Every structure is written in C-alpha cells, then in structure tokens.
C-alpha cells in the first residue's frame, strides 16, 4: 500500500471548487523515476483515482489544486501567499510544546475522508464517463475565469 497526501482544507474553502491534479512518484528513496502528473480532475475524482492506485502500488500520490492563474502577477501572488503560510506553519511548529497536544500531528482531513468513504475503505474510482463529464465542467470553469 502506498501513501496519499492532500491539503487539509475547511469545508468552505474556495480551493475545493478548483481543478485538481495528482502527482504520482516513488514512495521511498530507493526508486528513482520521474513523477507522473495526471489531471485536471474534480477533487472527489482525483482523490478516488489516487486512492485506487496507491491501494495496489508502493507509490506516493499528492493530490493538489491546479491554480488557473492568468498572469505572472497572479502566480507571484500565489507564491507569496504560499511562502507566508509556510513561515506561519514553521513558527507554529517552533512554538509547539514538545510534549503538547498530539492532535497537532493527526491529519484530520484524511480521518474525515476515511469516515465519509466507509470507515477507511477506499472510494470507488470514477468510470471514464464520470471523468469526462468532470473534464467538461472543469473546461467551463477555466473558460469562465
């Protein structure tokens, strides 16, 4: 079994409505090959497809939003926001009590997703027709921006 990583987002996050990509790569340092990037997908499809692949393979899957930026300035703004978030997280880690609350290390989103998907059972991956319908919705979303 492999590993799946994704963002821990609140239920009202605007990122949930964006297209999502999956990056598959080696799980350990022993394997060396170029990662494979797939998508864009709607988030539920991306998560289900990633779960289906890593359930059977020793791979790492990273599911993340695809930010449809229209200019270099928008990209710079997203980079700056990511850097600020990383600095804030680093400050939180530095300020954490060494023997503090263990809830800080639990990935709550994965726990919640496991609960929604039948208590830890992987979600059924979408069929080709569902993925194609998602592509159509994503195309409409990207062209409307």
> Beta strand pairing status for 3-6 and 59-65?
parallel
Q: Is residue 69 helix, strand or coil?
A: coil
Report field, pTM of the whole predicted structure over 0.75: no
**What is the full per-residue pLDDT of the chain (145 aa) written as tens digits?**
899 999 989 999 999 999 999 999 998 877 889 999 999 999 999 999 999 999 988 999 999 999 888 899 999 998 999 899 889 888 887 777 666 555 544 455 556 555 554 445 667 899 999 999 999 999 998 888 6
Write the CB contacts of 4 (distance below 8 Å, at least 6 apart in sequence). Answer: 47, 50, 51, 54, 60, 61, 63, 110
> What number of CA atoms fall less than 13 Å from residue 115's CA on the CB side?
6
In the structure, how many helices (H) and strands (E) does the chain have?
4, 4
């Amino acid at each position: 079994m492999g590993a799946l990583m994704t963002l821990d987002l609140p239920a009202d996050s605007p990122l949930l409505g964006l297209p999502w990509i999956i990056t598959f790569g080696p799980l350990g340092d022993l394997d060396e090959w170029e990662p494979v990037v797939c998508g864009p997908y709607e988030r539920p499809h991306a998560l289900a497809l990633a779960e289906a692949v890593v359930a059977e393979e020793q791979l790492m899957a990273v599911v993340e939003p695809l930010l449809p930026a229209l200019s270099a300035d928008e990209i710079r703004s997203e980079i700056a926001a990511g850097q600020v978030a990383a600095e804030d997280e680093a400050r939180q880690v530095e300020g954490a009590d060494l023997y503090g609350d263990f809830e800080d290390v639990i990935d709550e989103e994965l726990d919640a997703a496991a609960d929604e998907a039948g208590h830890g059972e992987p979600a059924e991956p979408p069929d080709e027709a569902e993925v194609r319908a998602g592509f159509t919705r994503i195309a409409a979303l990207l062209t409307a921006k």
